[in-house]
Structure 1
């Protein structure tokens, strides 16, 4: 494998997928179970990338789900689903989408399963998160960074 890698062959491998951090809270139980179930869901996503050795990277997908009934929090789930990936032979321009979109896309089904299990074990109706378009989120992140840079440059010119 090392020889083909030196020739510039692109390599992607999943080394390990694991739950790095997890939290489930029901701050208003048992009272919350007596209320009519008309939930409002708030979902927050984030990623963190750490470079390891030998073309290995840890990518962590952070998901926070807050479900409310009226103004009361029914439950709060926080999870960091992580993976160690070997990625080599990709250009700098390709590495951003690999780490910012492709790897989180690999991790998301694992996180979704853990969240669904926690919610169910917490006594609530099943929660299945809809698929996430990580390509679009990554592009949105790049555009936002570009706008922030342009705004900072405009401030220094004034």
Structure 2
């Protein structure tokens, strides 16, 4: 004799019959891209190691019912001996469809998970733009968006 196991969604089994959260990447796109090579061709002939300053920002907004636009903004500025070599600015966007996501999970998804999904594509665009400008590709290190979010939350809480 075999015992039947009920795996159905019921309060007795720890499920509350609510639909599961669903996330879909609707599209990804370059919203804005700028590459400046202000001192070319002289900057292409410098032998010094450039200092590179990279800034990353994330913006998110609701654009329709259950649809959020997330923008990943990356700016990289390189200098050698105080002289600019290149500046690259990228705003890379994505539209995400979110259904059955609890309100308290919307902001963490849009500020942590969505940028984590977008980052590899933005990283490639930055690398290709810098390479196409005549320099070795700029390969950005992976970014811990969770740590950035927590740091930002700590600053907001202390302000």
With normalisation by structure 2, the TM-score equals 0.86
Q: Could you tell me how far apart the structure 1 residues matched to 2:104 and 2:74 are?
A: 26
The structure 1 residue matched to 2:153, chosen from 120, 124, 142, is 142
The answer for the alignment partner of 1:115 in structure 2 is 126
Q: After superposition, where does 1:123-134 map in structure 2 within 5 Å?
A: 123-134=134-145
Report the alpha carbon displacement of residue 90 of structure 1 after superposing the two structures with TM: 2.0
Report the alpha carbon displacement of residue 95 of structure 1 after superposing the two structures with TM: 1.3
Q: After superposition, where does 1:1-150 map in structure 2 within 5 Å?
A: 7-148=18-159
| Shift >3 Å, 4+ stretches | none
User: Which runs of 5 or more residues in structure 1 are unaligned?
Assistant: 1-5, 149-158
Larger helix share, 1 or 2: 1
Q: Could you tell me how far apart the structure 1 residues matched to 2:48 and 2:86 are?
A: 12
Q: What do residues 31-85 of structure 1 show as CA deviations (whole Å, max 9, x unaligned)?
A: 1122113010101011111201121000000000001111011100000000000
When the two chains are superposed, the root-mean-square deviation of aligned CA atoms in Å is 1.3
SS at match of 2:76: strand
Q: Could you tell me how far apart the structure 2 residues matched to 1:34 and 1:120 are?
A: 15
The answer for the alignment partner of 1:155 in structure 2 is none
Q: Which entry has the higher C-alpha Rg, 1 or 2?
A: 2
With normalisation by structure 1, the TM-score equals 0.87
User: Which runs of 5 or more residues in structure 2 are unaligned?
Assistant: 1-16
Number of corresponding residues: 143
Q: Could you tell me how far apart the structure 2 residues matched to 1:69 and 1:95 are?
A: 42
